[in-house]
Amino acid sequence: MDYPRILSLVEEYNKAIASLEQDAIARLTKSLDVSLEQLLKRLNSKYPDIKNNLSILPAQRLLLITSELGELLNIVSRSQEEKHTEIFKGLITEGHRLGAEEATELVKMVDPNFEVASYSKVPIKAAAIAASQTYKNLLGYGEQFANNASNVISQGIIQGLGNRKIAGVLRAMEEKATKVQVERIVRTETARAAIGAVKQLYTDSDLRYGVWITTVQDVCPWCIGKSGKIYRIKDMVIPQHFNCRCSILPVAPDWVRDGFFDFVAIDNYSEFVREGKRVRADKALFEAAPPQEVTREKFLVAK
């Protein structure tokens, strides 16, 4: 087993997934930009009416702003639901395919003669359900933007800010908050789809254990702590957090006993990754609980 080649392969698939993500992020953020400009255009035309009729009571001010600007306050336009959902569906389907390809190649790099289970595409209905839920998550951030935008407009008018200054604040809000959430959603859901396929292919191939792979030096403390350790595949939660790029290398007791596995290389790399870094063993962001490590002594007698 050539561990550097394995790391290179994982990095290669990470780059392919990143390219997929960037395309989706670009399409989604372009849609947000168009919606924001529509909101600012409406705000520009309605600004005098809002300013002249602004109430002293905060609740009434927000009600007036909502009535004048309507659904445009939510820059995740509901009219784009079908388009956004299709973007997510394509992202999930392609991420799943890439994950299955990666898993197959990883198995063959360890044991070229091992019979890997056939890849099963993610069911159309399952992809549609996942895409719909992802869209709802995005819509939630759009609603947060709408609430924050209403408050910004209200306070801006009270403080005597002009329409242009308020527009500048709203653009900054979109850039620093909403677009960041779009990137997080896209990267998280793509990683979940890819690793979901990895875990499914291993399970279908009767491979129950995996070694945690980290591919970059500046990974998070949770991933650093797991690097190179063995876990039951069903217990491994990846992504651990936003922007997590970890993967799973399958391992079987027979492979170790037959000398297919190079734990020395794995340990050397993991020590290199951990050197001088903070390590955490508590629950990671996306975990219900940390997985139980399978020691190599116990693993070697596993069936």
How confident is the model over 100-122, as pLDDT tens digits? 999 999 999 999 999 999 888 87
Closest CA relative to residue 247, chosen from 259, 231, 258: 231
> What integer is the mean pLDDT of 61-66?
86
Q: Please name the residue that has the structure tokens 């336009």.
A: 77
Residue 116 DSSP class: P
**Sign of the Cα pseudo-torsion (221, 194, 9, 28, in order):** negative
Confidence at 218, pLDDT banded by 50, 70, 90: low
pLDDT of residue 303: 62
Place of tokens 């109430």: 55
pLDDT band per the 50, 70, 90 thresholds, residue 195: very high
**54-63, 161-170, 209-218, 293-302 — most confident range:** 161-170
Give the three-class secondary structure for 68.
helix
Task: Over range 205-220, report the average pLDDT.
Answer: 87
Say whether pTM exceeds 0.85. yes
User: Can you tell me the distance from the alpha carbon of 65 to that of 41, in angstroms, rounded to the nearest whole number?
Assistant: 14
Token pair for residue 268? 């050397």
Find where tokens 């596995």 sit: 261
Q: Which residue has the tokens 């930009």?
A: 33
Residue 294 has φ and ψ, to the nearest 5°, of -100, 110
Q: Per-residue pLDDT for 217 more than 90?
A: no
Q: Residue 112: is it exposed, middle or buried by C-beta count within 10 angstroms (0-12/13-18/19+)?
A: exposed
Res 87 pLDDT > 90: yes
Distance CA 244, CA 188 (A): 8
pLDDT over 70 (residue 65): yes
Residue 177 above 90 pLDDT?
no
